[in-house]
Amino acid sequence: MKIFSKITNLRDEYPKIALALGMFDGMHLGHQSIVNRAIELSKEIGGYSAALTFQNHPLSVIAKERMPLAIGNSELRAEILKDMGVDVLIDIPFTKSFSRLSPKVFLLLLKENLAPHYVVVGKNYTFGEGGKGTGKMLLREGEHFGFKAEVCPTVLDAGKPISSTRIRALIKEGAIHEVTEFLGRPFSFVGRVVHGERRGRELGFPTANLKIEEYRAMFPNGVYAAKVRYNGKTYNGLVNVGDNPTFGGEKRRLEVHIEDFSKNIYNELIEVIFLEKLRDEKKFDSVNDLIAAIKQDRDTARKYLDS
């Protein structure tokens, strides 16, 4: 999959594009249905599948106070789209100037640079200044801009839409199994490893530390069994989400002990894949009690990691 950070002329390099449009935060089952339809259409016409999305949520520019927590990020979304078989990802920054484009100017940009044969969106997709562009407009105006539009039906669970809003609420509740079901895969957190207090190493359980930015969705504090992906390989992991109450409390972060791993990976990207919650975060009376609990957590985690 080739990635572009701006809308550029791809008409010659990628003729016959089937284009999926959306924010695709978290790439849940609803998003996957849209992307999969674009992939199907690209195969039908002997062309290429593409997705156009934004590096930052539009509300971060339009109304920052209403910006929702991010389920994923650009790196995770790109990895999922690549695994799905998308040929081209156009992952662009959403800016004030972009927010002022009228719907028809946006469609003209697509025509001039991508010349898509198909444009696929979800039922609630909007585009252009003030979100005035809709799926109905795409169906109505598509022929004028050289493409056929498809609006995918909403994917439902128990009669309710699978949506990013619904998944965010489930993450906040710690409903790990429901989140896994709606995402179509376990919840992942991708980030760069930062320096910590090195306490894990002193306790005999060295950890890789990740910041949990205020704009990122995260499960409640606690200990989790997880897989860790780094540099194309997957390892067993034990995750603590919290602020280390045994040591007086610090800023909330994610610490993951990676089994059978000793590389220095500071500032490297890793993906932490949450499989099961083992227990809530707890303040221990002594360091020895904490070490004993971590050993027990590791043994419990292996039941989920080795199955």
Cβ contact 21:114 at 8 Å: no
Q: What is the DSSP letter of 45?
A: T
Q: Which of 150, 9, 17 is nearest to 88 (CA)?
A: 17
Cβ contact 35:51 at 8 Å: yes
Q: Is 255 annotated as catalytic?
A: yes
Catalytic residue among 40, 150, 197, 255: 255
CB atoms inside a 10 Å sphere around CB 240: 23
Burial class (CB in 10 A: 0-12, 13-18, 19+), 199: middle
- The DSSP element (H or E) to which 38 belongs, if any, is helix 29-44
How far is residue 183's CA from residue 167's CA, in Å, rounded to a whole number?
8
Task: Give the catalytic positions in this structure.
Answer: 255
